Chain A
Amino acid sequence: AQSVTQLDSHVSVSEGTPVLLRCNYSSSYSPSLFWYVQHPNKGLQLLLKYTSAATLVKGINGFEAEFKKSETSFHLTKPSAHMSDAAEYFCVVSDHNDKIIFGKGTRLHILP
């Protein structure tokens, strides 16, 4: 059975410093992996997705994620945090049987 674990429920960083949101997955097959962002009172929006074409994936707003099969990880990073990045971030896995599993989310706080 597939699963996804977001290792931190809350992350706080200062504006201008790097962001790291951690995600580990479990899947019997090569999965599809996504990161979605949810701003307060707004709908979920896709940040980026892993499509097996490249292990380093670039997304919107300067975010990127690296697929590491040996570590079963798909961590989300950004070199420099901006105040507008404050939101809830969800790691999502879907494998060959089309089951979709969301992580519990990581709330990112940006300190001025």
Chain B
Amino acid sequence: EAGVVQSPRYKIIEKKQPVAFWCNPISGHNTLYWYRQNLGQGPELLIRYENEEAVDDSQLPKDRFSAERLKGVDSTLKIQPAELGDSAVYLCASSHGLASKYNEQFFGPGTRLTVL
């Protein structure tokens, strides 16, 4: 069984440019998460989807970040425009059910974003 797939793995852009990350979760997983992991820190949740509905986007900086999961399967996270402080690893995870109900999250390899 394929794991969580993310692309690209690495991205280097100049500030003020747009960037998009793509995630394909494990088949059958209805819950999808986007995290940001700064260097030397733990992942911070940006947004959580239940199927196609964003049920927790309280930590998503909505002035420049957007996300979508139109058909309840794969998802895209976008930053426009990017700022220097957005340099981080962006992780996607999926699960069959909620973490609050003891369900394991499966993580992709992440996209390492560098903003110059």
The answer to whether A49 has its CB under 8 Å from any CB of chain B is: yes
Q: Which residues of B in the span 43-57 have a Cβ within 8 Å of any Cβ on A?
A: 43-45, 48, 55-56
Structural contact, A32 and B42, CB atoms closer than 8 A: no
Task: Tell which of A61-69, A71-79, A91-99 binds the partner.
Answer: A91-99
The answer to whether B91 has its CB under 8 Å from any CB of chain A is: yes
Interface string of A94-112 (1 = CB under 8 A from B): 1111111011110000000
Category for how many chain A residues contact B: 20 to 34
Instruction: Count residues of chain B with CB under 8 A from any CB of chain A.
Output: 26
Residues on the B chain within 8 Å of A49, using CB? 102, 104
Residues on the A chain within 8 Å of B56, using CB? 98-99
The answer to whether A7 has its CB under 8 Å from any CB of chain B is: no
Q: Which residues of A in the span 27-58 have a Cβ within 8 Å of any Cβ on B?
A: 32, 34, 36, 42-46, 49-51
A43-B107, A43-B108 known; A51-B102 Cβ under 8 A: yes
* Bound CA span A96–B56, Å: 14
Q: Is chain A's interface secondary structure helix, strand, loop, or mixed overall?
A: strand
* Bound CA span A44–B4, Å: 11
Interface string of B40-76 (1 = CB under 8 A from A): 1111110010000001100000000000000000000
7 closest cross-chain pairs (CB), A and B: A102-B42, A94-B99, A44-B107, A43-B107, A51-B102, A94-B100, A98-B100
Q: Which residues of B contact A (CB under 8 A)?
A: 3-4, 33, 35, 40-45, 48, 55-56, 91, 93, 98-102, 104-105, 107-110
